[in-house]
Structure 1
Amino acid sequence: MPRDTFEKGSEPLHVSLVAVPEAVVSTLSGIFDVMNAFAILPIPGRTSPAPPPFRVEIVGLQPGPLQLASRVPVTVQRGISELDETDIIIVPSLLLGPDGWRKGTHPEIVDWVAAMHRRGALLCSACSGLFLLAETGLFDGADATVHFGYARTFEAAFPAVPIRPERVLVVSGRREELITSGASMTWHDLVLYLIGRHAGATAAQAVARFFALQWHQDGLAPYIVFEGRNNHGDVAIQAAQDWVAAHFAVANPLEEMIRSAGLGERTFKRRFTGATGLSPIAYVQRLRVEDAKRRLERTEASVDEISWQVGYEEPAFFRRLFKRVTGLTPGNYRRRFRIPDYARTHG
């Protein structure tokens, strides 16, 4: 039976880092390096190397060289048929093709993951790695997160899994054994969580310092770029969306949207919400906030001026709305996402 904690003097917890051809090399290699780095960590006061809490192996269908999605080869160290048990399974980011995720591509790995879970293993995904884990059915009804860019594709493929793409890390399951991290670099949060859970907060802090990793404590909402849903097939609503995309800053845009759709007000509101998932007013607000984000990133305009430019005469209301949508104040957003001076081009 796999162990849930690492105790001093015991064997390291075995981590199976799953390699499939769709895997992204940066996530896979980053997780491998960080979780295997305890022998080189400079922890103050330590006079000898501490026993490593993890033993990370790259596992796959069979041992040997495997070319990943970015056409960089890695070596699969152990075939899954050789592993009767493991403590932690991690599926790294996967690169989806233009047709999305093809279910049934890796049935042997899916069956092995399910068998290891029955024997007590934790199941973890980084970013889009959830697509492979979700095929086990073990995440049905359990909250999870996935890269926000793949959220709609995932919802269509696995409607039984409730996803929270704005969340950095989600821990679910009766034993808190289903662990998912969100977009791209949130594998940092996944690794730090696992280290903190199994080796303690001091170890997690040491790793974070050594690799300059940061917890994404503000969530992923500030990173999400709003794109209105437009695959609904409602021509009248699409006409309104097309109009407001270019005119969201005008006063009273709702009246013009209704006029462009050629519908009565109540009918328009009902059909717009059904088609896009947002009320017309909420849709306009998201467009305005998205434009404000670009202005905060790329211009020197004051927050009050940007508020007026995107359609709000009351800066206080704009500030409250911006914080509600992104999780950050306009000023904090600008500090977070502006290109720093040292990275700007000159001359």
Structure 2
Amino acid sequence: MTKPLLPAGPDPRHVSLIALPDAVISTLTGIFDVMNAFALTDMLNASAGAREPFQVEIVGEAAGALQLASGIPINVQRAFADIETTDIVIVPSVLLRPGGWEKGRYPKLLEWISSMYQRGAVLCSACSGLFLLAETGLFDGKDATVHFGYARSFSAVYPAVPIHPDRVLVIAGRREELVCSGASTSWHDLVLYLIARYAGATAAQEVARMFALQWHQDGLTPYMVFEGNSDHGDAEIQSAQRWLDTHFPVANPVEEMIRRSPLAERTFKRRFASATGLAPIAYVQRLRVEDAKRRLERTEASIDEISWQVGYEDPAFFRRLFKRTTGMAPGAYRKRFRMPDFARR
């Protein structure tokens, strides 16, 4: 006879999974399915009497059908106004329109979320769901994470929230009541964390096995694509950046940029750092590492050869730089991100 994953105990924690027109269906339904995994007792090898740690409801402004950002309708199970208390509020990924996040569209929802927080609820966001939660002001001055692709736009809208888009999961607040996950499928880490927190590490491991989920233990830096800031208005530096885009592998690119510029060396370096946020040599290194990532993913070239192709004669230095920048050694990066053989046929 198999043992239940969870012993008899207190009632399941109520989870309010927010559905709003901007929500991304894959994140919302994925979270719903994984957090309801304990209802699938046979798949989890638990006995029929095993306690389920969560009662998950999809909640929204009104019960019934709601069309999400992808155009697919989902059934909202209960209006949030009818919920007087909940233990966990989760805002899934939202799709940002070309104009960015527009504040002030969900005043009643924000009021309800703040009320639930005051009554002890843990607030969670997945990926870009932080755009909604941050509107409550509860994340001001608290560390957070958001999809790295939205980092600049988020900071422009919420400058009081320090964000770390390279981090998979950030837990903040005096009682660890503010939880957010980073890019896209790092909602897996969010859900596994909640299961481990409220049901135990063994339960989280069982769910991870059943759904073949993996913790993003290397962080999100390996997934991030470097795009130098060119939206700064300094025409001279923009010209240098355009030249670098295709000439970063040349020998001594910083010296060559300065030689091509009418600016004095000290002035050029100061304006470059001010405009891009990086010193010229650091900017060059980021471009070179980004090119090396693509070559590791798409070619069979050796690491030594790639080192030379992107501008480094010393492969050992290149390996150290690559790991410092991405958090992974070049060989490990290639193993993780190269396209499998069956997909290249």
TM-score for the superposition, normalised by structure 2: 0.96
Aligned equivalent of 2:214? 214
Instruction: Tell me, in whole angstroms, the C-alpha distance in 2 between the residues paired with 1:243 and 1:256.
Output: 10
Give matches, 1:13-162, under 5 Å: 13-42=13-42, 46-162=46-162
Q: Is the 1:322–1:329 contact (alpha carbons within 8 Å) kept by the matching residues of 2? A: yes
Instruction: Tell me, in whole angstroms, the C-alpha distance in 1 between the residues paired with 2:337 and 2:118.
Output: 43
Structure 1 320/14 Cα, relative in aligned 2: closer, same or farther at 3 Å? same
SS of the aligned residue for 1:138 comes to coil
Q: Is the 2:127–2:182 contact (alpha carbons within 8 Å) kept by the matching residues of 1? A: yes
Structure 1 15/319 Cα, relative in aligned 2: closer, same or farther at 3 Å? same
Q: Is the 2:59–2:77 contact (alpha carbons within 8 Å) kept by the matching residues of 1? A: yes
TM-score for the superposition, normalised by structure 1: 0.96
How far off its partner does 1:343 sit?
A: 1.9
Q: Is the 2:269–2:280 contact (alpha carbons within 8 Å) kept by the matching residues of 1? A: yes
Which digits, 9 at most, give the CA deviation of each residue in 1:257-301, with x for residues without a partner? Answer: 123332111111111111001110000000000000000001110
Instruction: Tell me, in whole angstroms, the C-alpha distance in 1 between the residues paired with 2:38 and 2:77.
Output: 20
Instruction: Tell me, in whole angstroms, the C-alpha distance in 2 between the residues paired with 1:321 and 1:337.
Output: 18
Which digits, 9 at most, give the CA deviation of each residue in 1:306-346, with x for residues without a partner? Answer: 0000000100000000000100000000000001112222x
Q: Is the 1:296–1:333 contact (alpha carbons within 8 Å) kept by the matching residues of 2? A: yes
Which digits, 9 at most, give the CA deviation of each residue in 1:45-91, with x for residues without a partner? Answer: 74334111000000111111100000010011111110111000000
Structure 1 20/222 Cα, relative in aligned 2: closer, same or farther at 3 Å? same
Instruction: Tell me, in whole angstroms, the C-alpha distance in 1 between the residues paired with 2:149 and 2:212.
Output: 26
- The alignment of Structure 1 onto Structure 2 pairs a total of residues equal to 340
Instruction: Tell me, in whole angstroms, the C-alpha distance in 1 between the residues paired with 2:47 and 2:18.
Output: 34
Give matches, 1:277-292, under 5 Å: 277-292=277-292
List 4+ stretches of structure 1 deviating above 4 A. Answer: 41-45
Instruction: Tell me, in whole angstroms, the C-alpha distance in 1 between the residues paired with 2:215 and 2:145.
Output: 16
Instruction: Tell me, in whole angstroms, the C-alpha distance in 2 between the residues paired with 1:10 and 1:174.
Output: 24
- Please list every run of 5 or more consecutive structure 2 residues that lacks an aligned counterpart in the other structure: 1-5
Q: Is the 1:41–1:210 contact (alpha carbons within 8 Å) kept by the matching residues of 2? A: no
Instruction: Tell me, in whole angstroms, the C-alpha distance in 1 between the residues paired with 2:75 and 2:54.
Output: 19
Aligned equivalent of 2:238? 238
Greater Cα offset, 9-18 or 208-217: 9-18
Give, as a single letter, the amino acid of the residue that structure 1 aligns with 2:329: T
How far off its partner does 1:7 sit?
A: 7.7
Instruction: Tell me, in whole angstroms, the C-alpha distance in 1 between the residues paired with 2:77 and 2:284.
Output: 52
Instruction: Tell me, in whole angstroms, the C-alpha distance in 1 between the residues paired with 2:8 and 2:263.
Output: 70
Aligned equivalent of 2:3? none
Q: Is the 1:92–1:126 contact (alpha carbons within 8 Å) kept by the matching residues of 2? A: yes
The sequence identity of aligned pairs, in percent, is 69
Query: RMSD of the TM alignment (CA)?
Result: 1.2
Q: Is the 1:23–1:69 contact (alpha carbons within 8 Å) kept by the matching residues of 2? A: yes
Aligned equivalent of 1:248? 248
Instruction: Tell me, in whole angstroms, the C-alpha distance in 2 between the residues paired with 1:19 and 1:13.
Output: 19
Give, as a single letter, the amino acid of the residue that structure 2 aligns with 1:105: R
Which digits, 9 at most, give the CA deviation of each residue in 1:82-106, with x for residues without a partner? Answer: 0111000000000000011001111
Give, as a single letter, the amino acid of the residue that structure 2 aligns with 1:164: H
